[in-house]
Structure 1
Amino acid sequence: MDEKGLPLDLAPVDTRVRKHAYRSTRLIIACIIVQVVILIYRLTGTPKSITRLYNSYTGQPDFSHLAEHCAHISPVSTSSFLQRQQALAQSLHELNASAYIAEPGASAAYFANLSQSQWHLSERPLLLIISPDVDSSEQVHARVSILTPSFEATRAKLLSIPSQDEVTYPSWPEDVSPFEVAVSAVPQLKEGTIFVDGMMRSFVLDGLQKAATESNVLTAPVEIRRLRERKSAEELEIMKCVNEATLLAIRAVRENVKIGMRESEARQLMSTALSAAGLSDGSCLTLFGENAALPHGSGTDRVLGAHDFVLVDCDAELHGYRSDITRTYALPESTIHATYLRMWSLVHSAQANALAAARNGTVTAEVDAAARNTLAAQGYAQYLTHRLGHGIGLETHESPYLRGGSEDVILTGHTFSDEPGIYIEGQVGIRLEDCFYVHENGTAIFLTEGAGGAAKGPWDP
């Protein structure tokens, strides 16, 4: 059709010629672009330059440089899983427990590479069962079993479950209680104490209690929880990189945020940057101005004004381990009220004082108090409306927690978020968050230290 709505074969000859020439020109340009892309690929052997060319052509921000930061980091090794299972078996033996049971999730992922991404939870339970086996020389070994629905047995055996010995797969048909099958197939479940993961669903816990009539089924105690809470050097390397990469993504996006942009637009830029960094399952709470006064947002899509702070709270994943970083920042052209700038500095001080208080042997409540007391000195304590922080690792939020009233003790290898804030509804919300680990020397160090650590100022996140 031509511009007047006539079929091209009825349109004037000159119109058809112009349209043909236009289409030919577009085809030539497209061919040139393809040839340039092929040439770049042949010269560089990498798609990164292609990505940069595409972004330049489309006007999209280029975040491809972020991919290099964690490219050298490897996932947890098989030998580490075996060491974890051995440590669990030894702890079970010392606690006179006969087994540990978990559903697919963070704990099963820690001990056996069995996360919910490998096996989604349903009404049909699949269970990881690890029990201590003592040989004739009194050496303790870990025995691994996977309780599976019968019709899913083949699929279950395709799971990559590390084990020193052969994994057993007791299966249950649909007309039989899965928990009775578990007790019959794994002798250790017939008596003694069975520890279950604290996140186990109630119907599974109830079923185990009913089937294991001679056993005492209990939630795993702190001695078992600490095996996952206290991170190894291998885990810390992954956690450092995922937190650093998340922070670098926040800084890269800030260079592309503009006055007049909507929260949803900045949020999409963050998603793109996290993905470009090689991180998975990334998301960012992105709030402008007074919307940040509600710590989890207002549900609106505010336009960024010249006097507004930007608050981004981002998490993402690398090899199963999570990041959690928050920055409240101003743009170079922003004009922030002096009172809000003082609040920002106060939150910054609260974060630093909490980090200094977090030492090996300290009760977690004392770290929360260190941040809260800093705010109280200037009359702002009532505006910190949530706990100071949470444990982090295979889950974004995991035990222990930095909160008032807690009696949990901080130990080396523990990892936490440190995220004080001031939230005054209708006015402003400010939060700064970095995660830290407790070093072997007993001091706390930000996981973002390798990327510059905590924010330096409102204009320097």
Structure 2
Amino acid sequence: MSDEPTPFTADDYRARMERAAASAADAGLAGLLVAPGPDLVWLTGYQPTAITERLTLLVLTPGSDPVLVVPALEAPDAAGAPVTLRDWKDGADPYAVASPLLDAQGRYGVSDNAWAMHLLGLQRALPDTGYASLTDALPMLRAVKDRHELQRLAAAGAAADATYEEILKVRFAGRKETEVAGDLADLLLGHGHSQVDFTVVGSGPNGANPHHEAGERTITEGDMVVLDFGGLKHGYGSDTSRTVHVGEPTAEEAKVHEIVRTAQNAGCEAVRPGIACQEVDRVARAVIDDAGYGEYFIHRTGHGIGVTTHEPPYMVEGEERPLVPGMCFSVEPGIYLPGRFGVRIEDIVTVTEDGGRRLNATDRGLAIVE
């Protein structure tokens, strides 16, 4: 039986664009301008085969049909998107095509990955317009997932879990971090990922760097090893972390791992509708602070996930937005002891009507590997 999800329909994309335009109006914006990238794919289903210097721009205006400005040579590829196309030919001024679609004195939300040259081109054509980053203006645009998105995220999480179960069977000692990272990538692809975004393998002192990239260090007996890996399956992200040990751990290593496990569990158990995002961070951080390791927990507790592996909402002090059913994010506290070792444990959690549900289910205990 195929695990392929039900495809999103043109009606699904139209509904997203309508909601996005309405959200823009609620935020006091004249509309949204969306360049190629995850926002464009999420809103329209269209992803240019190549992102070049040629202007491609979705214009969403409340009360008007969505319009996609595209290079003429790419118009056939964009024809399936549920939008009105306005194309322009090489040699023509693309901003002369785009600018009539905008209010000459309006303020627009712009997708974060829009090229500066295009924004400046619009400003030259319409000097009285204003612009705001979409993440600043509408940070929750993609944050609440529908049931079809949740199915994709659950499938991605299950594939990452299967990858972890299999990586425990490979040999670690005597192999380079890059070799284990290669195994992780192969396993993610083997379990249906179309894209591998990262395979962190931080052994020994390298584990004390939360974003360590797998390097040429040879893993040895006695190493703690942080594994953090993920990518995209069916267009939606996976991201999970577990920490393993090569051979038997010391009492201190086991203690630190247990503190992180307890903190991670507390953060996951705190998830429920209505609480502020920062509360998840506070609950997990309090466990580590109380154990005397607070200065070694050096990053936020979590980040949202969807069509990208990092997106709003963020579980961090100062983020007062309330959790809403359908939000998905990581809960990943850690302790990082410089020059010695690190520990991180991470699950993706989705907010339900009465609490939270983890999308990762592998054992969070300290696994012993060879």
Shared fold (TM-score, shorter chain, > 0.5): yes
Match of 1:445 in 2: 357
Distance 2:139 2:76 in 1: 27
CA distance 1:124–1:416, shift in 2 (3 Å): same
SS for the counterpart of 1:376 is helix
CA distance in structure 2 between the aligned counterparts of 1:361 and 1:444, rounded to whole angstroms: 12
Match of residue 244 from structure 1 = 158
CA contact 1:125–1:148 (8 Å) conserved in 2: yes
How many Å apart are 1:286 and its aligned residue? 1.4
Deviations 1:327-367 (A, max 9, x none): 10235xx1111110111110011111112223222222222
Q: Once the two structures are superposed, what CA deviation does each residue of 1:176-198 show, in whole Å capped at 9, x if it has no partner?
A: 2x2232123x2x53454433223
Q: Deviations over 1:376-431 (max 9, x none)?
A: 11101111111111111111111221122333332222111111111112211111
- Please state how far the C-alpha of 1:236 moved relative to its aligned partner: 0.6
- The Cα shift of 1:267 comes to 1.4
For residues 300 and 89 of structure 1, the distance between their equivalents in structure 2, rounded to whole angstroms, comes to 45
Aligned 8 A contact 2:73 2:89 in 1: no
Residue of structure 2 equivalent to 1:58: none
CA drift of 1:93 comes to: 4.9
**Does 2:73 match 1:154?**
yes
Matched residue SS, 2:140: helix
Q: How many residues align?
A: 368
1:105 aligns with 2:19: no
Residue equivalent to 2:265: 352
| 1:323 is the counterpart of 2:238 | yes
Whether the aligned pair in 1 keeps the contact of 2:29 and 2:108 (CA below 8 Å) is: yes
Task: Write the distance in 2 (CA, Å) between the matches of 1:340 and 1:419.
Answer: 18
1:266 to 159, 176, 180: 180
Alignment of 1:169-248 (within 5 A): 169-171=86-88, 173-176=90-93, 178-184=94-100, 186=101, 188-220=102-134, 224-248=138-162
**Contact 1:391–1:397 (CA<8 Å) still a contact in 2?**
yes
Amino acid aligned to 1:179: Y
**Residue aligning to 2:192:** 278
Q: Which has the higher contact order (CA 8 A, sep 6+)?
A: 2
Q: What TM-score, normalized by structure 2, do the two folds share?
A: 0.90
Letter of the 1:384 partner, please give it: F
User: How far is the alpha carbon of 1:232 from its aligned partner?
Assistant: 0.8
Gapped runs of 5+ residues in structure 2?
none
Aligned equivalents of 2:264, 2:240: Cα separation in 1: 13
C-alpha distance in 2 between matches for 1:421 and 1:90: 39
Q: CA offsets, 1:283-320, max 9 Å, x none? A: 31112222211222276423232212232110111122
- CA distance, structure 1, for counterparts of residue 32 and residue 52 of structure 2: 20
Describe the SS at the equivalent of 1:147: strand
Determine if the alignment matches structure 1 residue 431 to structure 2 residue 344: yes
Residue matched to 1:23? none
Tell me the amino acid that sits aligned with residue 158 of structure 1.
Answer: D
Alignment check: 8 A CA contact 1:423 1:429 kept:
yes
Q: Provide closer, same or farther for how the CA distance between residues 406 and 287 of structure 1 changes in structure 2, counting only shifts above 3 A.
A: same
Shift of 1:238: 0.2
Question: For 1:32-111, what aligned pairs fall within 5 Å after superposition?
Answer: 71-94=3-26, 97-111=29-43
- 277 and 315 in structure 1: CA distance in 2 versus 1, 3 angstrom threshold: same
2:324 is the counterpart of 1:405: no
* Identity value in percent: 27
Code of the residue aligned with 1:144 in structure 2: it is P
**Is 1:383 paired with 2:296?**
yes
Q: Taking structure 1 as reference, are residues 222 and 161 closer, same or farther at Cα in structure 2, changes over 3 Å only?
A: farther
5+ long unaligned stretches in structure 1? 1-67, 134-141
CA contact (8 A) 1:82 1:162 kept: no
SS at match of 1:311: strand
**Cα distance in 1, alignment partners of residues 7 and 44 from structure 2:** 14
Residues 179-237 of structure 1: per-residue CA shift (max 9 Å, x gap): 232123x2x53454433223433332232233234544333477744231111111011
Equivalent residue number for residue 414 of structure 1 = 327
Tell whether 2:223 aligns with 1:308: yes
Counterpart secondary structure, 1:123: coil
1:209–1:217 contact (8 Å) kept in structure 2: no
Aligned to 1:143: 65
Aligned to 2:366: 458
Partner of 2:169: 255
> How much does 1:96 deviate?
6.0
- 2:84 alignment partner, SS class: coil
SS of residue paired to 1:405: coil
Q: Which structure: larger Rg? A: 1
Q: Comparing both structures, which one devotes a greater share of its residues to helix?
A: 1
Q: Equivalents in 2 of 1:129, 1:248: separation in Å?
A: 41
Q: Closer, same or farther in 2 for the Cα pair 1:196/1:367, shift >3 Å?
A: same
Residues 222, 437 of structure 1: CA spacing in aligned structure 2 closer, same or farther, 3 A cutoff? farther
CA contact (8 A) 1:75 1:319 kept: no
Provide closer, same or farther for how the CA distance between residues 382 and 92 of structure 1 changes in structure 2, counting only shifts above 3 A.
closer
